[in-house]
Amino acid sequence: MVTIKSQKEIEKMRQACHITAFVYQEIEKYIKPGITTLDLDHFAEKIIKQKGGIPAQKGYPSGEKGVPAFPGTLCISINDEVIHGIPSNRRIIQEGDVVSVDLVVYKNGFHGDAARTYIVGEKPNKEKQRLVDITKQAFFEGIKYALKGNRIGDISHAIGEFVQKNGYSVVKEFQGHGIGEEMHEDPGIPNYGKAGRGVRLEPGMTLAIEPMVIAGKPNICVLDDGWTIVTEDESIAAHYENTILITEKEPEILTLL
């Protein structure tokens, strides 16, 4: 069931989303070659707690038998890792790595969810930079249609068409989602599909829209840890996400400062 948030609930949600955005602002200054993904994870967790939030992904159940709950504050996925990479003190971030970070903050009963992809180092590779830029722009192409009276499929179609037009692939097995008191709520928001289909958008809906884009073929597989999703052909992937609010007019992005 899709939930419509009241003004009071939206104001509470803004606080979680503000912390999420602030953490990314600080990560951009902190991330560099030589640190481990666990260093980055601890850095983010410290900020979240200082701001009165809770790292919502830490301890999140997998839903699959035999797979432990997610151990980190951040999902940190590098190069051919698409999403759900587990932070580790053995994984050192290198010059030129494409690092996707996914974060969910919980505060006052509500969640804020966003993802960013960074190219680490001083001289980004042009091909890597283009992938990251197209992934980010795909989000903005999608939310052009995040308007009262439109449908979820309008957003999905815009994202998929933009990505394909630029020569990349979207991940079809994972998607965006509604968000609020629960991290994952209805409706699901694929990054591909037909316009004019799906749930009709109404003011008060809060949605996490998240293009996951692969430079090569769209095929993915899961590593033995039960969480990390990688590209089958070892091509680079990128991820960009924000939590947005459907309004009477233009959508409001809640996870940008």
pLDDT at 132: 98
State how many domains the chain has: 1
20-57: per-residue pLDDT in tens? 999 999 999 999 999 999 999 999 999 999 999 999 99
Q: Would you say residue 1 lies in a domain? A: no
Helix (H, G, I), strand (E, B) or coil at 92: strand
Structure tokens that stand for 190 in this block: 């694929």
Is residue 71 assigned to a domain? yes
**Tell me, what's the pLDDT at 254?**
98
Measured distance CA(111)–CA(95) in Å, rounded? 33
Can you list the positions of beta strands (E) in the chain?
54-55, 74-78, 81-83, 98-107, 110-119, 169-170, 176-178, 185-189, 206-209, 212-214, 220-222, 229-231, 237-239, 242-245, 252-253
Is the separation of the CB atoms in 205 and 9 below 8 Å? no
For residue 178, being part of any structural domain is answered with yes
Evaluate whether 244 touches 206 at the Cβ level (below 8 Å): yes
Q: Check residue 141 and give its pLDDT.
A: 98
In a domain, 127, yes or no: yes
**Sign of the torsion angle spanned by Cα atoms 145, 146, 148, 152:** positive
Query: Would you give the DSSP letter of residue 206?
Result: E
CATH number at residue 202: 3.90.230.10
Q: Domain span at residue 67?
A: 7-253
217 falls within a domain: yes
In a domain, 2, yes or no: no
**Is residue 40 one of the residues assigned to a domain?**
yes
Cα distance between residue 92 and residue 77, in whole Å: 12
- Which residue ranges of the chain lie beneath pLDDT 70? none
Residue 64 falls within a domain, yes or no?
yes
CA angle 127, 130, 132 (to 5 degrees): 115
Residue whose structure tokens are 């409706």 = 187
